[in-house]
Homo-oligomer: A and B are copies of this chain.
């Protein structure tokens, strides 16, 4: 995939991570285990429905998946999208690192 397409592919993931509550949810899910909604809502200062909405946002960009088990909805983190976003930022950093280095060199030459 081209760089630019990976960029626009990562934008929705960044948007999903751009909320403190969702970042907290991702953090709680980072143990790799399955968590029910009630479990994830615990201690957060908003209603269960609010948490549900945030989980759906994360699900829509593929950061988490959901599996219904009995009366529970169990959410699990899905590594790939975040890894892609991470790699994108890593390459972006390298890009301006090198650019700045070239600028410095051309000034000092």
Which A residues contact B (CB, under 8 angstroms)?
4, 7-8, 10-20, 23-24, 26-27, 30-33, 77, 79, 82-83, 85-86, 89-90, 92-93, 95-97, 99-100, 102-103
Contacts and interface: CB of A to CB of B under 8 A. Distances in A.
Contact of A93 (B13, B27, B79): B79
B103 A79 contact: no
| Ranked 3 nearest A-B pairs via Cβ | A15-B18, A86-B89, A14-B18
A contacts with B: majority SS:
helix
Number of copies: 2
A95 B85 CA distance: 16
Contacts of A83: 93
Contact of A23 (B7, B17, B93): B7
Contacts of A8: 20, 23
Contact of A92 (B18, B26, B96): B26
